[in-house]
Amino acid sequence: MTDLTQTESQVEAIAPEAFSTEQRAKIFAALADPTRLRIVELLAAKGELSGSEIASQLNISLALFCHHSRTLVEADLLQVRREGQTKYNSLNQTLLQQCLMSLGAMRDTAINPTK
């Protein structure tokens, strides 16, 4: 798994401007829920986990995890791979970093509008 502390040059595969307003809104809406944010934080710290492992570590039901994971998958923040009957979840860290960088770029433009 990649680390969230990657350098900006490693993440610039897609320029921040490449994100549409709708894409950013979908990602930030997915992160706006405390449970989904906890899922993202857990996966950022632990890497790939099964749904039952995530539910257990966050002290939520598997059904509640499945509900929230759908939103994260729709926002492309969560990647799911199946091994037998078990689904393993991992964070799309590149997408998350690129989206956060787009916010930083907006901040920089607002602070220094002549750049």
Q: Please choose, from the candidates 14, 39, 56, 55, the residue with its C-alpha nearest in 3D space to the C-alpha of residue 91.
A: 39
Residues contacting 24, CB < 8 A, separation 6+:
99, 102, 103
Residue 85: HSE in the Cβ half-sphere, 13 Å Cα cutoff: 1
Domains of the chain, residue spans: 19-111
pLDDT of residue 53: 98
Residue 6, pLDDT above cutoff 50 = no
The arithmetic mean of pLDDT across residues 18-44, rounded, is 91
pLDDT tens, position by position, 46-105: 999 999 999 999 999 999 999 999 999 999 999 999 999 999 999 999 998 888 887 776
Output the pLDDT for position 1: 40
Note the pLDDT of residue 2. 42
- In whole angstroms, what is the distance from residue 115 CA to residue 112 CA? 6
Q: Which CATH number is 19-111 given?
A: 1.10.10.10
**pTM for this predicted structure:** 0.76
